[in-house]
Amino acid sequence: MGMSQAIRIILIKRNNISESELARRLGISPQNLYSKMKRDNFSENELHAIAKVLDCTFEAGFRMNDTGEKIGN
């Protein structure tokens, strides 16, 4: 499972947060996020930032803090 797919799953599990809303929370443009999602190309720092705004822990994958469920690698 790629990081983009893992992020999309978490967005759904977090009450259907949109990619645009995620971009807003990250302080980047939606176009920038869409481009990264399309290429599945994120730096480790970006993945840590995404995890933080989605209340997850990045471990070369994601673990939902409230349920302990691991999504991704």
User: Is 59 contained in some domain?
Assistant: yes
User: pTM for the full model?
Assistant: 0.78
User: Tokens at residue 17, please?
Assistant: 């947060």
Using alpha carbons, select from 2, 39, 18 the residue that is nearest to residue 53.
18
Q: Is residue 71 part of a domain?
A: no
Amino acid 6: pLDDT: 94
Examine residue 18 and state whether it is found in any structural domain, yes or no.
yes
The answer to whether position 41 is within a domain reads yes
Question: Domain containing 54 — which CATH number?
Answer: 1.10.260
Domain span at 45: 3-65
Query: Total domain count for the chain?
Result: 1
Indicate if the alpha-carbon torsion angle 51, 52, 53, 54 is positive or negative. positive
Instruction: Please tell me the predicted confidence (pLDDT) of residue 61.
Output: 62
**Structural domain contains residue 8:** yes
Q: Is residue 73 part of a domain?
A: no
* Token pair listed for 64: 């939902």
Each residue's pLDDT tens digit in the chain (73 positions)?
789 999 999 999 999 999 999 999 999 999 999 999 999 999 999 999 999 999 999 877 688 999 989 887 6
- Asked if the structure places residue 11 within a domain, the reply is yes
